[in-house]
Structure 1
Amino acid sequence: MLSLDPTCLENLLTCSKDILPFRIMNQPELFTVTCHSLSEAEKEHRILSSHGYLCLLLDVLQSELQRSQSEAEPYRQAIDYIAANLHLPPTVCNVAKHISLSNAQLYRIFMLHAGCSPKQYINDQRITKACRLICSSSMPINLIGYAIGFKYESYFYRWFKNQIGITPSEYRMLTCTRQLP
């Protein structure tokens, strides 16, 4: 990652104060400068200095944008893999392996894009799908547990109660207002 020297930033700000309004037109080298206190040579020097600093700043911003976009693709691949494999359920290791990243890289990308760990994201997706299936289908609770990757009904019940605070059956009765067929 590129970084700007504090002196460079200070010079940029100082130059910007002296070159009151300036406008970059179709070409970056064309400026309109309004400044009464500087000589023509000083104006030209300040303009060129400011232009160099602005170009450097634009390069830094562009490289940060490219880095962010390059990290977005593995994140999209990971969330697609998780969504397609909730019935397994996917583990952090499986997701990382699928998109050819280390667990640490996957963790960093999820913290950046989702604000949580991959494991928490997987759990959130599982509970969201479980709640949706409980309310939108007449599917038995044990099959819903299987659909999101639980082999044992009792473990699904305990996990669901730990996540939501009530059992899946209670959740169905309390939150699903429409009658299921």
Structure 2
Amino acid sequence: MSVIAVLALDGVPGHQLTTPGLVFGTACRDHHDVRYEIRLCAAPGLRATGAPAPLRVGTPLGLEGLADADIVLVLGHRGYRDEPPAGVLAALRAAADRGSRIAAVGTGTFTLAATGLLDGRRATTGRRHAEELARLHPRIDVEPLGTAVEDGPFLTAAGVFGGMDVCLHILGRDHGRRVADETGRELVTPLHLYADDVRETIDREITESVGLEPTLRWIETRLHLPLTLSDIANHAQTSISSLTRRFRAHTGLSPLQYLLRARLQEAQRLLKETDIPIERVAARTGFTSPAALRLHFRTLTGTSPRAYRRAHHASGGQRGGRDNGGEPGRP
């Protein structure tokens, strides 16, 4: 039997606190050879779950519950930017030294990063926190679009459905993809059976009448704007869920992944063909800052924008000294 210690800090989202029991409990119920012990362990200072409906929390165990755990699961929490409570970092380092696997959900990655255990490794967090994680912990290779990233004994994830992505990944690692997939379907599919049938019919009719090309062209002429998933869905005149399925079928990417790739390709073009300062390249391609451009650019190319420009200029790439201020073109 594997022991999973779920570490909760003050302000933990309530759904993250209950998801491990839901996932592993379902797997144990449906598969007789799957056995887990789930321990809820309180970090010093744990008082309540986070907003919008905080609940008082009490657990039977504190940090001592991590002492012999096979897996430690660090949940997200409200004060993830702050120094973790006393003893938390030492307990996590001790668990790693014993050979325990350590996973982090959403902003729980910040707590795990504070131990230094992720330095020189790949990791991820929720998409809206990825830039901040990279800024605060520059020695970590942050994957901004990673749902679940495993590097050695460490697993980090965005925390989809309260950490279900993390739990199913652990389950698949321990008992195979089939058990994880069956557990995921048991938890999620019944909620969507009817809706999926209706959406499939609508999607087929839309796809047969008009493709995504107009929307792709529309995106590529607006890379400098702060486009949202809703903006793209509104232009395509479809729902967000339908848009996502159509994008994956047509491009192999989600809408926001496609937008990011288009922005990076346009940034590559500007770096190769112009002398526009990198700050303006970032603005022209829709990144919130040069640091954001550097983060995503390195993930795609393995190098920095400045080094990329220098290499292509040295190899004889065309340079255009003027910037006419026009909108980005098609990448």
Superposition TM-score, scaled by structure 1 size:
0.57
Deviation (angstroms), 1:66: 7.5
Matched, 1:69 2:69: no
Q: Which runs of 5+ in 1 are unaligned?
A: 1-64
Q: Identical aligned pairs, as a percentage?
A: 28
Q: CA RMSD in A?
A: 2.1
Matched, 1:84 2:248: no
CA offset digits 1:57-107 (Å, max 9, x no partner):
xxxxxxxx97643141xx122202211210014222210022221111111
Match of 1:7 in 2: none
Deviation (angstroms), 1:169: 0.3
Structure 2 counterpart SS, 1:98 = helix
Distance in structure 2 (CA, Å) of the matches to 1:178 and 1:108? 41
Larger radius of gyration: 1
Match of 2:258 in 1: 121
Structure 1 counterpart SS, 2:225 = coil
**Would the aligned equivalents of 1:96 and 1:102 in 2 still touch at CA under 8 Å?**
yes
Deviation (angstroms), 1:124: 1.1
Structure 2 counterpart SS, 1:175 = helix
Amino acid at match of 2:316: R
Q: Please, which of 303, 322, 330 is the counterpart of residue 166 of structure 1? A: 303
Match of 2:287 in 1: 150
**Would the aligned equivalents of 1:89 and 1:148 in 2 still touch at CA under 8 Å?**
no
- Structure with the bigger RCO (C-alpha within 8 Å, sep 6+) is 1
Structure 1 counterpart SS, 2:286 = coil
Distance in structure 1 (CA, Å) of the matches to 2:275 and 2:224? 18
The structure-2 alpha-carbon separation of the partners of 1:107 and 1:66, relative to structure 1 and needing over 3 Å to count, comes to closer
Matched, 1:99 2:267: no
Amino acid at match of 1:114: T
Amino acid at match of 2:299: N
Deviation (angstroms), 1:113: 1.4
Distance in structure 2 (CA, Å) of the matches to 1:67 and 1:107? 13
Distance in structure 2 (CA, Å) of the matches to 1:77 and 1:94? 14
CA offset digits 1:33-70 (Å, max 9, x no partner):
xxxxxxxxxxxxxxxxxxxxxxxxxxxxxxxx976431
Matched, 1:178 2:178: no
Distance in structure 1 (CA, Å) of the matches to 2:289 and 2:249? 34
The structure-2 alpha-carbon separation of the partners of 1:127 and 1:101, relative to structure 1 and needing over 3 Å to count, comes to same
Distance in structure 2 (CA, Å) of the matches to 1:162 and 1:112? 24
CA offset digits 1:1-20 (Å, max 9, x no partner):
xxxxxxxxxxxxxxxxxxxx
Pairing 1:134-149 to 2, within 5 Å after superposition? 134-149=271-286
Q: Which runs of 5+ in 2 are unaligned?
A: 1-203, 322-331
**Would the aligned equivalents of 1:86 and 1:147 in 2 still touch at CA under 8 Å?**
yes
Match of 1:31 in 2: none
The structure-2 alpha-carbon separation of the partners of 1:66 and 1:157, relative to structure 1 and needing over 3 Å to count, comes to closer
Structure 2 counterpart SS, 1:178 = coil
User: Which has the larger share of helix?
Assistant: 1
Deviation (angstroms), 1:145: 0.5
Aligned residues: 115
Structure 2 counterpart SS, 1:139 = coil
